[in-house]
Amino acid sequence: MNARIAIVGDFDPRNPTHLATNEAIQNGARSLNESVESEWLATEASEHADFNAYHGFWIAPGSPYKSLFGALRAIRYAREEKVPLFGTCGGFQHIILEFARNVLGIADAAHAESDPSASRLVISKLACSLAGRSLAIKLVEPSLVSSLYGTTSVIERYYCNFGVNPDYVSALSSRDLQVVGSDDEGEIRVVELRGHPFFVGTLFVPQTRSRPGEPHPLVRGLLAAISGE
């Protein structure tokens, strides 16, 4: 299968996480002996793009995005049409935002980075920045994410200053978006959507750990879901 992945985000060649995303996809594709074409799809272009042209989506780091609407449109499409999607860092945050708006009915759910004065900040500034830190994460078993890692305890690296507002954790956990990874304080770090072939968000940035011959298990899992393995 010659798969096409849309990396939804505003590409910056100076951003190491963007370069790592490209490399991680190819590392994973080689491990599966698959041919994968990845294409950066700017968030503004995502406002009117034909998503049928893609077999999978990666919502990239690098928020605030130029078009919040474009990013959320891609996430909603993948969620509703059951197309494999992976969101990392800013992508994780916008998975939460899209779910809050379109599933939980919080129409004015907002992100503190782009709208800090909003009344319903589902994504808020973290009390302590995670940028540049590698921290332990506990994974729920059974879950797709824990099965891909093959363990319930991992260490991953972050590049962010925003996360899920604790006031909305109960509401988020009441539906099919499952919290499957938390830090030592119980803060949400990984989510996956029940009943979807692959719909995963991580606040950390796993692609920076991918190496030739050693693809990250979550990236490999995304590509396997796209290829139907």
Kindly give the confidence (pLDDT) of every residue in the chain, 229 residues in length, as a single tens digit, with 9 standing for 90 and above. 589 999 999 999 999 999 999 999 999 999 999 889 999 999 999 999 999 999 999 999 999 999 999 999 999 999 999 999 999 999 999 999 999 999 999 999 999 999 998 999 999 998 778 888 889 999 999 999 999 999 999 999 999 899 999 999 989 888 899 999 999 888 999 999 999 999 999 999 999 999 988 999 999 999 999 987 6
Tell me the C-alpha distance between 147 and 207, whole Å: 18
Name the residue among 83, 95, 153, 82 with its Cα closest to residue 123: 95
pTM of the model: 0.95
Tell me the C-alpha distance between 192 and 16, whole Å: 25
Q: Which residue has the tokens 């363990």?
A: 151
Beta pairing partners, 59: 8, 87
Q: Where are the domains of the chain?
A: 2-227
Residues whose CB is less than 8 angstroms from the CB of residue 14 and which lie 6 or more positions away in sequence, other chains included: none
Please state which architecture CATH assigns to domain 2-227.
3-Layer(aba) Sandwich (3.40)
